[in-house]
Structure 1
Amino acid sequence: MRTTITILFLVFFSQTFAQQNADEKYKKPLKQVLQEVQTKFNVRIKFDNKMVADKWVSYADWRYRENVDATLANILTPFDMKVNKENDSTYKLKEYEYYRWSVEDGQKKLNELAALYNDKETWEKRKAILKQQMLEALEISPLPAKPASKTILANKRTLGDYTIENFAIEMLPGVYVAGSIYKPAKIKGKIPVVLCPDGHWQACRYRPDCQYRCATLARLGTIAVSYDLFAWGESMLQFPYEDHRKSLAQTIQVLNTIRILDYILTLPEADTSRVAISGGSGGGSLTVLMTALDDRIKLSAPVVSLSCYMYGGCPCESGMPIHFAGGGTDNVEIAAMAAPRPMLVVSDGQDWTDHVPQIEMPYLKRMYSFYGKDALVQNVHLPTEGHDFGINKRTPLYKFIAGNFGLDLKKITTASGEIDETKVTIEKENAMYVFGDKGEKLPANAIKGFDALAKMFVNN
């Protein structure tokens, strides 16, 4: 018995000793190291066992520093992992997020950018460089040829004092973008246009909040255009959802918006001098980018998206190298390219827009002041709210568009002045399909699969 115990002890001792010297790189399992960090610093680290399985930390005990944040950075960086800090004592293990920086690093980058220009003249020079290099990064300089096909229109219906008509545009040969056009039921003269790109929320553009927004904008007196993200909604008839996570998605969504605007501005009732764009989350990122690239857009309102430390959590926002333009840029500098066109930034306290009043807005105010127009950039901050496009985000949007485009806000308010969305009919999803309930009306020339799409950009 004593012999057996002795052998087991020696085996255990030799294995432990072998793992605790330079010959074996002082290795420990990542899971064990994270457990030791929790004990040492009295914190909780949430992680999936699959993320840490079969991973070993070299020189594990040498990686400890004076605080938990520095220690975790030392441990996780070689694995391309990081933690998100949920509160003072709770962390969550995540894959490395190239698009999400610390607030401090984001602010430092923004300060470095701000030091590059001191007046309108120096800023205009940089803006021209940024615009050209972003177009090149997106591989749309020059723009691909536009197909000659006509816009497909379907299922026009009248719902009280507004109408909806579904549409599809061939934006590249065999590639279609689908959406719905909301208009006032009665139109007199020229009326404004509001592009409403979708964000990464469930139920796509068919969500009630999206329908409320577009229908209410139509009731206010605008042409409001809702359309699919690439490889979402009806775009999935051609491309599976996985294709949305590919870098070229960013280029396609920019091209989609350009093609849609090309069409909408040919309508006899469209006022080319009053064109706006407003999206939330990923749609907010597209709002910022499109306003920077397309001078036809006269007013913008990015919602729950703009941040100096968040570059966009999807390749459709940061997949193409637009952020390397001009030697390096960020979303806030790109947003500043809207100046002096009016801009409303809607932010909240529970996502990456939490610091907008303290960090992003002073920068934007300075940029607009180069034109003597600092009052034209505004912020509505909702510190107790989170990441959505709810009524408290839609309300300032309606007021902003009405005020800048000379529209009568009374068309969408109650007698007491509150925004009234009760006259909006929430439709079933298939009512907004242009290609039929099962995609049976998809044009015969429609391509299928990402490879066919990617070939169009090989020599562009």
Structure 2
Amino acid sequence: MYKSLVAGFLVLLASFSFAQTADDAFRKPLKEVISDIENQFHVKIRYPEDLVKDRMVTYAGWRFRPDLEQTLFNVMSSQDITFVKEGEGKYKLQNFQYHLKTPLEGKQQLEYLWTKFNDVTSWESRKKELRECMWKALKLSPLPAKPASRPVISNRRTMNGYTIENVALETLPGVYVCGSLYRPLNAKGKLPVILNPDGHFGDGRYRADCQYRCAMQAKMGAISFSYDLFAWGESALQFKPSDHRKSLAMSVHALNSIRILDWLLSMKNADPNRVAITGGSGGGSQTMLITALDDRIKLSVPVVMMSSYHSGGCPCESGMGVHLCGGGTNNVEIAAMAAPRPQLIISDGKDWTQQVPQVEFPYLKKVYDFYGKTGEVENAHFPQEGHDYGLSKRVAMYQFVAKHFNLDIKKIQDKEGRIHESGVTIEKYPAMYVFGEKRESLPANAVKDFAQLEEMFK
């Protein structure tokens, strides 16, 4: 009798739930709901027509609240759409930005992450968990077999205190990464190695600020290497520019950096105890990631990228789910994985690094303090500057690297002790091409189909 009553009740409840779910009386076109919001709250909302076309909102009227932004959140979250306030009474709609949180959400996540460890032992356990997951997320566990080919090296030039060579490395069968190798002129003994991954700035590694940075590193006595992003610069000879924004590009970036480091450390005069990496923007993302993954990196300088609420807007920075490891992480915790190795965080006042001195940097210092190495992590913040790797940021990097790697900073200073870059030659693009001005030297085995690349990772 009891079982029959329970069964009957469950059938009735299921019927009631189905009726509630199936009833579409409250469904309305998204475009109409947006108009209702505008009228009720006296605001203007702009959006691309294809963003809202043919979309429907279930229980539309039930999502409204007295607060405008809560109403927008309730409606738009059902559509994977986010909103941005553009001014008083003005809003813009856009596709859900998976890589972005609000600054408050970023701060709250840091506070939550801090509850996961409280000393070196618990932090090392957390770091081990993150690293193992990150390798798997990138599909680089285990690493693919390394091609046996030699680097393609061309066009050696001698400049004022340094040399430059064009280099291409085969990192997967038929997949090449191109770069520029800068070395000090007439240097003796073991030399530091500095990786300079490119970021999402115009002109890639050919741009002047990248040439300045690498030449100055070489003039101080380091082996410096700058290299293209995947499907960017000369690497775009093999793949379409649109392939750069595919998630697998993140894995290729990481593998390229690891293969480049393998090659640089194979040089007889390379010092494995003095290995650094620095890059800005997307290059900053690479700087943090590779330092977290590879203990061979002894010093890092991520530039205008470390943020608790921005994980990198290109899928090549965040598309492989690395930031979902360990129950969720962010670039601050990834940067903290460098501890206790020396690290300089360079930030500015006009992008997502604007709150670094107050929010993100104190978190890093706490992790370094576990090791008694608080002094090994520094922040150079430029509140009046924006998103670039400009002169002031480069000077901060030169000083930091010279201090920790015992480089000869006097070679880039004038008589008053000021750092200057006047002795650097800025070359035209063709001089830096590995495969020739007309790309005539591209190897015959070069892969030119992204589908082939995907097969390699399967």
**Normalising by structure 1, what TM-score?**
0.90
Q: Structure 2 CA distance, aligned partners of 1:37 and 1:384?
A: 38
* Structural mapping, 1:308-387, within 5 Å: 308-387=308-387
Q: 2:64 maps to which residue?
A: 64
Q: Structure 1 CA distance, aligned partners of 2:187 and 2:101?
A: 47
Kindly provide the amino acid, as one letter, of the partner of residue 389 in structure 2: F
Which whole-Å deviations, capped at 9, do the CAs of 1:243-282 have from their partners, x for residues lacking one? 1111111111111001101111111221111100001111
- Shift in alpha-carbon separation, 1:430–1:38, aligned structure 2, 3 A: farther
Q: 2:406 maps to which residue?
A: 406
Cα offset for 1:229? Answer: 0.5
The answer as to 2:163 corresponding to 1:147 is no
- Shift in alpha-carbon separation, 1:44–1:405, aligned structure 2, 3 A: farther
Cα offset for 1:343? Answer: 0.5
Q: 1:81 maps to which residue?
A: 81
- Shift in alpha-carbon separation, 1:266–1:83, aligned structure 2, 3 A: same
Q: 2:156 maps to which residue?
A: 156
Q: Structure 1 CA distance, aligned partners of 2:337 and 2:155?
A: 38
Kindly provide the amino acid, as one letter, of the partner of residue 120 in structure 2: K
Q: Structure 2 CA distance, aligned partners of 1:90 and 1:188?
A: 62
Q: 1:103 maps to which residue?
A: 103
Alignment length (residue pairs):
436
Q: 1:249 maps to which residue?
A: 249
Q: Structure 1 CA distance, aligned partners of 2:113 and 2:420?
A: 42
Q: Structure 1 CA distance, aligned partners of 2:269 and 2:39?
A: 67
Cα offset for 1:169? Answer: 0.7
The answer as to 2:164 corresponding to 1:203 is no
Which whole-Å deviations, capped at 9, do the CAs of 1:125-144 have from their partners, x for residues lacking one? 22112111211111111111
* Structural mapping, 1:225-264, within 5 Å: 225-264=225-264
- Shift in alpha-carbon separation, 1:122–1:185, aligned structure 2, 3 A: same
Q: Structure 1 CA distance, aligned partners of 2:71 and 2:384?
A: 32
- The answer (yes or no) to whether the contact 1:187–1:269 under 8 Å persists in 2 is no
Which whole-Å deviations, capped at 9, do the CAs of 1:319-369 have from their partners, x for residues lacking one? 112223223222211111100000001111211111111111111100000
Q: Structure 2 CA distance, aligned partners of 1:123 and 1:437?
A: 50
Cα offset for 1:63? Answer: 3.4
Kindly provide the amino acid, as one letter, of the partner of residue 324 in structure 2: F
Kindly provide the amino acid, as one letter, of the partner of residue 200 in structure 1: H
Higher alpha-carbon deviation: 416-425 or 216-225: 416-425
Q: 1:306 maps to which residue?
A: 306
Which whole-Å deviations, capped at 9, do the CAs of 1:91-148 have from their partners, x for residues lacking one? 4322101110111222222211111111101111221121112111111111111111
Cα offset for 1:55? Answer: 4.0
The answer as to 2:452 corresponding to 1:452 is yes
Q: 2:8 maps to which residue?
A: none
The answer as to 2:417 corresponding to 1:417 is yes
Q: Structure 2 CA distance, aligned partners of 1:85 and 1:208?
A: 36
SS at match of 2:303: coil
SS at match of 1:177: strand
- Shift in alpha-carbon separation, 1:410–1:33, aligned structure 2, 3 A: farther
Q: Structure 2 CA distance, aligned partners of 1:59 and 1:387?
A: 42
**Normalising by structure 2, what TM-score?**
0.90
The answer as to 2:114 corresponding to 1:125 is no
Q: Percent identity?
A: 55
Q: 1:137 maps to which residue?
A: 137
- Shift in alpha-carbon separation, 1:186–1:242, aligned structure 2, 3 A: same
Kindly provide the amino acid, as one letter, of the partner of residue 288 in structure 1: M
Q: 2:28 maps to which residue?
A: 27
Kindly provide the amino acid, as one letter, of the partner of residue 27 in structure 1: K
- The answer (yes or no) to whether the contact 2:30–2:56 under 8 Å persists in 1 is yes
Superposition RMSD on alpha carbons, in Å?
1.9
Q: Structure 1 CA distance, aligned partners of 2:316 and 2:434?
A: 23
Q: Structure 2 CA distance, aligned partners of 1:265 and 1:138?
A: 23
Q: Structure 2 CA distance, aligned partners of 1:72 and 1:418?
A: 53
Higher alpha-carbon deviation: 42-51 or 325-334: 42-51
Cα offset for 1:443? Answer: 0.9
> Which 5+ residue runs of structure 1 have no aligned equivalent?
1-21
